[in-house]
Amino acid sequence: MPLYEGLGGIGLINEKNITVVFDFGAAYTKAGFAGETGPRVIAKSEVICRETGKTVPVFQAKDDEELRHHLVDFIHKLYFRHLLVNPKDRRVVVVENLLGPSSVRNILAKVLFRHYEVLSVLFVPSHLVSLMTLGVTTGLVVDMGYQETTVVPVYENVPILYTWQALPLGGKAIHSSLNELLLDRALILGEDGKEQRLSAVKQKLSDKVLEDIKVRTCFVTTLERSGRVQSNKYDRSVEPPPPAPSVQYPMSGSSILTIPGTVREMATEVLFEMDEDLLTLPSMILNALRQCPIDTRQALAGNLVFIGGTASVKGMKHRILSEVQALVSSPPFMDLLKLNSFKVHQPPAKDNYVAWLGGAILGGTEAVVLRSLPRDQYILNDTVPDWCNLAYNSKDESDEKSV
């Protein structure tokens, strides 16, 4: 037997039937195969622009044509550099946000069907498939992404769409707050041995550095400590809590950045500050529950599920749960919601790829064949069925006659 035959057959039984699963995010994209326990790659959602030659976010484009070029180049990198498979005649599952723009979905389908000639595409909502990783059918899913946080209750596998909540609170807001705090309070030790404020050397840190500082050093403080810090801002007689220890962070060259404990602790507080409409991250959860049918609220409150990369910041879930329990016992929620128990699930995966894992589970079932949009049907109609389009959500005359 030739050597290549023996090696080539290892682990490649029914290779053409393996479904590819994508979870495109504003900051990071997860890609892998159905039936596996984790994505093969978590790649930054960046691509080299054909016009400028600069690295830009995939979904940052001036028009649909530029977005199509970005997606073609980015998906090519995912298939041929990371997944190492031929996209032709393979099924694809795309995990998407229910509230995502339809234009992006249509361009993505056009790229997959017409450029890469995939066999079929199945778009699945991230909030719904996340519950599949837990084996439950009811839950209040909080997706904490890079650009925003969205809350969608799911009851018996049916998303309660009219109760959705969304705010631009996520990793991007933390990066902005962290950059401002570092420029104001952090000190940097230069190569010449001179220590000075960071603002005297830099005007803005890159997102890559901010992401690394956030993951390595920042944490979410407790509700009690946060209250004392906020009170000290307006009343100096209130004793602030002792600060967390400072840390040394190596910058380029031999420069060392000293990050104060107050910066590490306060960078994430932007998620819990009320806006002009008196909305915060915890109040979004209670507002979603308040709009749900009264007989579903207790079940939803007992099945909170947090997904997304921002949810993995140390102390995030504990702080949100503490804030929710404090808010529900105060006006106006005290009279509107009679809830005294909130429980948080621990999914069997890291928070940033829980939704991808749900898509991988669904991709390993018969649903990927029965519910997918085939290539020949797309080529015929050149459209993707959308839940928000009445053309795909109205009864036919034949259905009305049969009733």
Supply the CATH number for residue 194's domain.
3.90.640
Q: What percent of the chain has pLDDT over 70?
A: 91
Distance CA 367, CA 357 (A): 15
Whether residue 263 sits in one domain with residue 181 = yes
Please indicate, yes or no, if residue 43 is contained in any of the structural domains. Answer: yes
Quick one: 86 and 110 in the same domain?
Answer: yes
Last residue in a domain, options 327, 347, 367? 347
Residues 288 and 265 reside in one and the same domain: no
Question: Sign of the C-alpha dihedral, residues 331, 332, 334, 339?
Answer: negative
Residues 120 and 28 in one domain: yes
Is residue 11 domain-resident?
A: no
**Total-model pTM:** 0.88
Instruction: Let me know whether 164 and 313 are in one domain.
Output: yes
Q: 136-145, 208-217, 279-288, 335-344 — which is least confidently predicted? A: 335-344
Tell me, yes or no, whether 2 lies in a domain: no
Evaluate whether residue 10 is within a structural domain: no
Q: Report the chain's mean pLDDT, rounded to a whole number.
A: 86
Q: Assess if residue 368 is contained within a domain.
A: yes
Residue 367 CB contacts under 8 Å (≥ 6 apart), including other chains:
122
Residue 75 CB burial class (10 angstroms; 0-12, 13-18, ≥19) = buried
pLDDT of 35 over the 80 cut: yes
**Per the domain annotation, does 5 fall within a domain?**
no
How wide is the angle at C-alpha 400 spanned by C-alphas 395 and 403, nearest 5°?
125
Q: Per the domain annotation, does 290 fall within a domain?
A: yes
Print the domain residue range for 221. Answer: 171-270
221-269 pLDDT, tens digit per residue, is 998 888 877 766 556 566 677 888 999 999 877 789 999 988 998 899 8
Question: Which of 244, 270, 296 delimits the end of a domain?
Answer: 270
Residue 246, φ and ψ in degrees, nearest 5: -75, 160
Q: Are residues 280 and 329 in the same domain?
A: yes
- 402 pLDDT band (50/70/90 cuts)? very low
* Whether 104 and 243 share a structural domain: no
73 and 116 housed in the same domain = yes
Could you give the number of structural domains in the chain? 3
Gap between the Cα atoms of 365 and 13, Å rounded: 17
Shared domain for 364 and 323, answered yes or no, is: no
- Where residue 35 sits, what CATH number does that domain have? 3.30.420.40
Supply the pLDDT for residue 14. Answer: 45
Domain boundary among 247, 270, 293: 270
Q: What is the mean pLDDT of residues 133-137?
A: 93
Instruction: Report the distance separating Cα 124 and Cα 126, nearest Å.
Output: 6
Is residue 6, in this structure, part of any structural domain at all?
A: no
Per-residue HEC secondary structure of 128-151 comes to: HHHHHHCCCCCEEEEEECCCCEEE
Structure tokens at 167: 């705010």
CA 394 vs. chain centroid, Å, equals: 31
Residue 20 and residue 127 in one domain: yes
Percent of the chain with pLDDT over 90: 60
pLDDT per residue as tens digits for the range 296-352: 999 999 999 999 999 999 999 999 999 999 888 887 788 788 888 899 999 999 999
Q: What are phi and psi of 21, to 5 degrees?
A: -120, 125
Pair 63, 120 in one domain: yes
As a whole number of Å, the end-to-end CA separation of the chain is 64
Give the pLDDT of residue 333. 82
Are 239 and 141 members of one domain?
A: no
